[in-house]
Structure 1
């Protein structure tokens, strides 16, 4: 299996993108409207932020889950015992954020969320009738006025050799939300687990946009769209001295949205956060 970038401007972009999501849980887009220079500027500004001690002024609030998460409280992926090698910042429009960085993130958050709504429209339009009948409401409507959609600025620091045995930048996991929208990072390392059990490198050409299915869309679609396992592996050789910045937008429905007979968005999110040990 190989992931191929779909040209957003192509006549068959919708069908090719949704088919990739169905087959692999991932879709890769090129020639999309999210400007690369915008992403590049965010990467540069936040690399400076993570290198400063000021980040500790924004230490996260356990109740609201916004702010800076240091490596000492990094996530432990479900089924794993070792923390990921990363630090990150959770941005919500209502949450804390360095003032000089707020407007840039706010603009990106809005643009990426609007674009993601378009992609959800594609997914619904090209869902088989029996799958679409499961949706309690149009997928793009599920995120309207949601205060749960999260923009995470991720920093994977250079490796020093003193890392805990078995630790990698992001252990194998699945995302919780509907869709994750991710500009290609400044360094490679993202892999997806294929149906044959082999790990596949996700195309990381700077400028690509990577979208993957989360557990909530898998739940809402009765498994038609798979929430595929993925990870970020450690670099080797000279690449170990370079940090990696990543900017995933986790698209979440409003808490009251019904995903299935088993779950609302709120009940599912809380179940998964408890499994991750962050609540």
Structure 2
């Protein structure tokens, strides 16, 4: 398995992108519409936020899942017993957010959502007829007016060497949602699982946009589009002293959207949040 960046502006980009998703669960785009300058500014401003005591004023609400999640309540990946070494902030347009950081996030959220709708359209365009008929409605319509789509600002703090044995920044997991839209982080570490025990580094060139399939799209497509296992490994040597900031947008359908005979988006999300130990 090899992940190669697709030029968003090139002829046939839509087909190449969906072929990559189908083969690996991941697609990588370059020359896309998301501003590098915007991403850089968000990384810098939120690093300052995570380094400050202000973050404690925005502790998450367990019912609404917005706000700051400290390392002490970080997720435990399904099948694992050790919490991930990370803290993060959940941003929704309707949720709490530091006033000085909100407009920048709101602008990024809107730009990413616009691109996301286009990418879902690409996925549907190149879904075989027998797969497309499983969709209860157009994929891009599933996220229309959804208040569940989540922008997560992730902070993986520097490692001290005192971490629990076998704990890593993000243990092997699959995402819950339809697609995840992720600008390349400011440090490497993201890997996708290939065949067997093979782990492949996801291209982390700054400016790339990484997109992966979530369980909800796998469910809606009758397993045609694979929700591939991925993880964030711990750095070595001098890189242990570096923070890592990441900015995934998790595309969630409206709660009433029917994914399959087994699940609506709401029932699926609640089941997974219970498994993660955050609800």
Q: Output the TM-score relative to the length of structure 2.
A: 0.99
Give SS of 1:167's match. coil
Distance 2:162 2:37 in 1: 34
Distance 1:264 1:114 in 2: 24
Which residue in the other structure is 1:229 paired with? 229
Distance 1:148 1:97 in 2: 16
Distance 1:128 1:9 in 2: 24
* 1:66-105 paired onto structure 2 within 5 Å: 66-105=66-105
Long gaps (5+) in structure 2: none
Which residue in the other structure is 1:145 paired with? 145
Which residue in the other structure is 2:184 paired with? 184
Which residue in the other structure is 2:3 paired with? 3
Matched, 1:47 2:56: no
Q: Which runs of 4+ in 1 moved over 3 A?
A: none
Cα RMSD over matched residues? 0.5
Which residue in the other structure is 1:195 paired with? 195
Which residue in the other structure is 2:267 paired with? 267
Long gaps (5+) in structure 1: none
What do residues 168-187 of structure 1 show as CA deviations (whole Å, max 9, x unaligned)?
A: 00000000000000000000
Which residue in the other structure is 1:159 paired with? 159
Matched, 1:122 2:138: no
Distance 2:209 2:8 in 1: 10
The size of the alignment, in residue pairs, is 279
Give SS of 1:88's match. strand
Distance 2:258 2:198 in 1: 34
Give SS of 2:75's match. coil
Give SS of 2:111's match. helix
